[in-house]
Structure formats: C-alpha cells, structure tokens
Amino acid sequence: MAMTLTEKILARAAGRRDCVPGENIWVDVDVLMTHDVCGPGTIGVFKKHFGKDATVWDRDKVVIIPDHYIFTADVMANRNVDVLRQFAAEQNIKYFYDVGTPRYKGVCHIALPEEGHTRPGEVLLGTDSHTCTAGAFGEFATGVGNTDAGFVMGSGKLWLKAPPTMRFVFHGQLPPYLMAKDLILAVIGDIGCDGATYSAMEFDGDGVYALNIEERMTLCNMAIEAGGKNGIIAPDHITLQYVNARNAGRRKYQVMRSDPDAKFASERVYDVTKLEPVVAKPHSPDNRAAVSQVKGTKLDRAYIGSCTGGKMTDFRAAAEILCGKSVRIDTFVVPATSDIAAGLKTERLNGRTLEEVFLNAGAKIGEPSCAACLGGPMDTFGRLNAPISCISTTNRNYPGRMGHKEAQVFLASPMTVAASAVNGVITDPRDCLA
C-alpha cells in the first residue's frame, strides 16, 4: 500500500510491511535522548519499574545532553546535572556530553545532529518537545514524557499511535529578507497552535530543498508549536552529505520518501517569493502579524539564540544586519552549541569575526546552552526578570516562558531581531538590507 514518509518509518520500526494512521503499534527505538530537566525523572521511572540495579536496553542508543539550566548557581539545577553524571557513570553511557568537560555540547537538538545521532529512517525519541527538530534528517523524531522515556530506557520499545500526515509545500527561492523562521511562523499563523494536533507535518517543495540543513531544522523544530507529533523532510544529497560526515558508530540507515500516491490528510502550498517577514505577537506562536503591520513597536530587549535561532546560519544572518552598527537595546547572543561558539570566533564578515561583529555592536554573548529560552533560574543569562518587551528568535512566547510572567515576547527571525535591536523598535529587515 502507498504510505507517507512517517508511515514508512514507523512500519519499519514495527517490523511490518505497512502502517495506517490511527493504528497503535509497538516500535523499536533507535535513539533515546534526555537532558538535565527531564533526565532525573526519566531515570527515576526507569529504576522504579525495571529495578534499581537494572541496565539500560542499549548504552550506545541512550544519549544524555545537559543543556537547559547549566550556567547557574541554582542548587537544584546543579543537582539535576549531578544525577545525570552519576547515572551515566553507573550505566557506562557512551554518549554523555557533560558540562565542564571538553565533551560539553549545549542545546540537545543541535548537539544531536552535530554528534551524528540523527539518521534517515530511524526513530528518535527525546524528553523534550522540540525533539521534532531532527525530522529535518528524514527520521521520525518526537518528544515523549518521562514515563514513556523511562520505559524506553529499559525496553527499547514504545507503544505509539501512527499519525496522519499533513503536507506543506513551499515553492520558489527564498528572498534575501526571509528565513525559515518566517515560513514556519506563517504556517502556524495559518493553521493555529492546534492545527496539526497529533499529525505529522511533512515539508516539501523546491523551496524547502533550496534551504540548507540548519534552516530545515528550524522548519521541523516548530512543528510542535502547531500541535504536530513530528515534523519531517525527506532526505536529499544535502541531508546525506551532512549525516555521512558525522554518523556516530557508522550505523547503517535506510533512506525513505513518501510514495507518489500516498494519502495526505491535507496539503497547503506556499510561494515563498510572495511571503514577507513575520512576527508572532504575545502570547502565542500563532498570534501572527506581518512585520510591516507592527513595525515601530517599542522594545526593551533582543535575544538571538536557542535551538530555533542559535545556529551558524542564524548568526550569519544577524551579523549581516549588525555589522558596523550599534544596538539601541540590550541584545543577548547565545550560540546553541560549543561548535557554533567556536565558529563565531573563526568565521569572518568584512574582516571581523562574527563574535567581534556582535561585541562591537554592543551585544552580550553567552555560553552555549538553552539559556533564557525556558526562563530558568533568576541568574540565567538573558532571562526576562522584569515585565519588559523582548523580540526573540526562540520558539515560544507564552506568559512566563522566558522568565517574568508579565513580559511581552515577540517571536521573529534572526534578521528581524537584529534589525529591531539596531532601532529599538520592531523593524522590517528589508529596511536594513536596502
């Protein structure tokens, strides 16, 4: 029978020839990821149900990445990392990226592909809703709760319901003033935060395949903001080149694509050349407005970072805007991973490193981590500790998400955030690129 990409992957993982949306199936998990926020709870579930002396089902398939509340004096946050350290040592976990060591990485969703844990055709589960980022590599990647993760940790299996697939097709070459963040905010604005509830969101079209792998990750990253079970993009030569250069353990994988006659629950088609820069106004990712509609809105802070906006592509775009200029509001720059932080020190623009571009513009640069994206302890870098207005490259703007419950957060692309930082008000990046 004809199947979508997501259905094919789940059928393979279930050892079946086919898979139908709505069907409940047992799947074999290829990679389980957890971090410092949910890791201790997952470990607790695992030990409670499998025994305090139990061993994980496959130590080479468990990846532990502390990333959320790292650079803080908060005792409980530090204790969470200690729990991960103890467990990793006890279980002899091969892929533990501990803070304070040369192995430390930063944001799990960017660290996973950098360290070769994302492969086409696989099932990747993580105790974080933005695990769907990895769908950019042609795999089924989704977030699960601590209970499910604890079960997977001991068994390597999970009972899943196969989702229907919604297809989003983008045509055209992205204009220089748009980024993938604009595309996904446009989609979420169209269908709402519950528009893709428990559905796979498959992204397709020449407009998608013209994007680099980091921009594709941004598309898949925010599938969860539309209620999606997973975001996914079929692999092409760009995907395979990235994966083959990293592939931890040199594991074999299977490239899959939707059948030409596969049945999709719905399809939306976009011409990217006709889109314009977008923001999501407080307090929801689907509260969409064109930047041109809200330009001039006063801001107190700008934030460029997170799994959605802290990659090299994001910083290159922001640096193009900020080079030779000065910011008018507090601007925080947070690389997603240690590799990206190193890239800021070496990659140059007009004779200066990207790090120098940001510092010369008056921005503050933090250590690679999630930092203020999830608020965190009061001493978290960039956290909104007052009821101020911030424009951010992060993925959520619910009340309290970045700290203070009365803070106002506008979501936008790195270019829009950088342009707004220069003027101190929401600014259309087209005004800075002209």
Under 8 Å between Cβ of 356 and 348: no
Residue 65 has pLDDT above 70, yes or no: yes
> Where does a domain end: 248, 269, 290?
269
One domain for residues 24 and 138: yes
Confidence of residue 399 (pLDDT cuts 50, 70, 90): very high
pLDDT single digits (tens) 70-100: 999 999 999 999 999 999 999 999 999 999 9
Residue 397 has pLDDT above 90, yes or no: yes
One domain for residues 225 and 319: no
Residue 394 has pLDDT above 90, yes or no: yes
In sequence order, what are the residues at sequence separation of 6 or more whose Cβ sits closer than 8 angstroms to the Cβ of residue 83?
Answer: 39, 40, 43
One domain for residues 265 and 282: no
pLDDT single digits (tens) 318-348: 999 999 999 999 999 999 999 999 999 999 9
> Where does a domain end: 269, 291, 323?
269
Residue 300 has pLDDT above 80, yes or no: yes
One domain for residues 191 and 125: yes
- In this prediction, residue 434 carries a pLDDT of 63
Residue 429 has pLDDT above 80, yes or no: yes
One domain for residues 214 and 261: yes
**Residue written as token pair 């209970």:** 147
Q: Nearest 5°: phi and psi at 16?
A: -120, 165
State how far the Cα of 91 lies from the Cα of 337, in Å rounded to an integer: 25
Confidence of residue 144 (pLDDT cuts 50, 70, 90): very high
How do beta strands 278-280 and 330-334 pair? unpaired
Percent of the chain whose predicted confidence (pLDDT) is above 90: 100
Residue 163 has pLDDT above 80, yes or no: yes
Mean pLDDT of 250-265: 98
Average pLDDT, the chain: 98
Residue 273's CB is within 10 A of a number of other CB atoms, namely 12
When computed from its CA atoms, the radius of gyration of the chain, rounded to whole angstroms, is 21
> Where does a domain end: 214, 239, 269?
269
Residue 211 φ/ψ region, left for φ over 0, alpha for ψ in the -120 to 50 degree band, beta for the rest: beta
- In this prediction, residue 162 carries a pLDDT of 98
One domain for residues 297 and 247: no
Report if pTM > 0.85: yes
Residue 269 has pLDDT above 90, yes or no: yes
Residue 359 has pLDDT above 90, yes or no: yes
Q: Which amino acid is at 414?
A: P
DSSP string, 127-180: SSGGGGGGGGGTSEEEE--HHHHHHHHHHSEEEEEPPPEEEEEEESPPPTT--H
State how far the Cα of 397 lies from the Cα of 150, in Å rounded to an integer: 29
One domain for residues 119 and 173: yes
378: CATH: 3.30.499.10
Range of the domain at 315: 278-433
One domain for residues 240 and 315: no
State how far the Cα of 229 lies from the Cα of 43, in Å rounded to an integer: 24
One domain for residues 91 and 125: yes
One domain for residues 226 and 285: no
State how far the Cα of 121 lies from the Cα of 145, in Å rounded to an integer: 22
One domain for residues 234 and 350: no
Mean pLDDT of 387-403: 98
Count of domains observed in the chain: 2
One domain for residues 122 and 247: yes
Confidence of residue 433 (pLDDT cuts 50, 70, 90): confident
pLDDT single digits (tens) 25-61: 999 999 999 999 999 999 999 999 999 999 999 999 9
